[in-house]
Structure 1
Amino acid sequence: MMRVNLTLKPMGSWSIPIEAESIIPANFLSGTDLTVWRGNRELGLEEAFSVSVVGGADRAEDVEIVLAGKTARLKRVGEYMDAGKITVLGDIGMHCGNFMTGGTIEIQGNADGWLGREMGGGSIICRGNAADYCASGYRGGRKGMTGGRVEVYGRVGDFLAENLAGGTVIVHGDAGDMPGAEMRGGTLIIHGDCTRPAANMKDGACYVYGTARWMLPTFRNLGTVRHEGRTLIQFTGDVANRGKGNLFVGNYEYLD
Structure 2
Amino acid sequence: MMKITLTMKPTARSFIPIEAESIVPKNFLSGTDLLVWRGNRELRLDEVFLVAVEGSADRAEDVEVVLSGDTFRLKRVGEYMEAGKVTVLGGIGMHCGNFMTGGTIEVHGDADGWLGREMGGGTIICRGNAADYCASGYRGGRKGMTGGTVEVFGNVGDYLAEQIAGGTVIVHGDAGDMAGAEMHGGMLVIHGNCRRPAANMKAGSCYVYGTAQGMLPTFKKVGAVQHEGRTLIHFTGDIANRGKGNLFVKDYVYLD
| TM-score of Structure 1 vs Structure 2, range by shorter chain | over 0.9
With over 3 angstroms needed to count, the CA separation of the structure-2 counterparts of 1:26 and 1:150, relative to structure 1, is same
**Cα distance in 2 between the residues matched to 1:36 and 1:14:** 15
> Structure 1 counterpart of 2:52, which letter?
S
**Cα distance in 1 between the residues matched to 2:3 and 2:82:** 17
User: Does residue 102 of structure 1 match 2:96?
Assistant: no
Report SS of the residue matched to 2:254.
coil
**Cα distance in 1 between the residues matched to 2:252 and 2:76:** 37
> Structure 2 counterpart of 1:152, which letter?
V
Tell me how large the CA RMSD over aligned residues is: 0.6
**Cα distance in 1 between the residues matched to 2:13 and 2:41:** 17
- CA deviation profile, 1:130-163 (whole Å, cap 9, x unmatched): 0000000112322200000000000000000000
Report SS of the residue matched to 2:151.
strand
Report SS of the residue matched to 1:214.
strand
Structure 1 residue 241 displacement after superposition: 0.2
**Cα distance in 1 between the residues matched to 2:223 and 2:135:** 29
1:148-167 equivalences under 5 Å are 148-167=148-167
**Cα distance in 2 between the residues matched to 1:71 and 1:121:** 24
**Cα distance in 2 between the residues matched to 1:129 and 1:11:** 26
Structure 1 residue 14 displacement after superposition: 4.2
User: Does residue 3 of structure 1 match 2:3?
Assistant: yes
Report SS of the residue matched to 1:50.
strand
> Structure 1 counterpart of 2:235, which letter?
F
**Cα distance in 2 between the residues matched to 1:60 and 1:162:** 30
**Cα distance in 2 between the residues matched to 1:177 and 1:169:** 16
**Cα distance in 2 between the residues matched to 1:134 and 1:53:** 31
Instruction: Give the alignment's TM-score, normalised by structure 1.
Output: 0.99
Residue 190 (structure 2) aligns with: 190
- CA deviation profile, 1:21-66 (whole Å, cap 9, x unmatched): 0000000000001000011100000001000000000000000000
Report SS of the residue matched to 2:215.
coil
User: Does residue 219 of structure 1 match 2:219?
Assistant: yes
**Cα distance in 2 between the residues matched to 1:13 and 1:222:** 56
Report SS of the residue matched to 1:170.
strand
1:6-85 equivalences under 5 Å are 6-85=6-85
**Cα distance in 2 between the residues matched to 1:62 and 1:160:** 31
Residue 239 (structure 2) aligns with: 239
Structure 1 residue 73 displacement after superposition: 0.2
**Cα distance in 2 between the residues matched to 1:100 and 1:141:** 16
Residue 172 (structure 1) aligns with: 172
**Cα distance in 2 between the residues matched to 1:140 and 1:26:** 30
Residue 209 (structure 2) aligns with: 209
Structure 1 residue runs of 4+, over 3 Å off? none
Report SS of the residue matched to 1:47.
helix
User: Does residue 133 of structure 1 match 2:133?
Assistant: yes
**Cα distance in 2 between the residues matched to 1:15 and 1:104:** 28
**Cα distance in 1 between the residues matched to 2:199 and 2:227:** 22
Report SS of the residue matched to 1:253.
strand
**Cα distance in 2 between the residues matched to 1:193 and 1:11:** 40
Structure 1 residue 2 displacement after superposition: 0.1
Residue 112 (structure 1) aligns with: 112
Unmatched 5+ stretches in structure 2 = none
Alignment identity in percent? Answer: 78
**Cα distance in 1 between the residues matched to 2:168 and 2:14:** 38
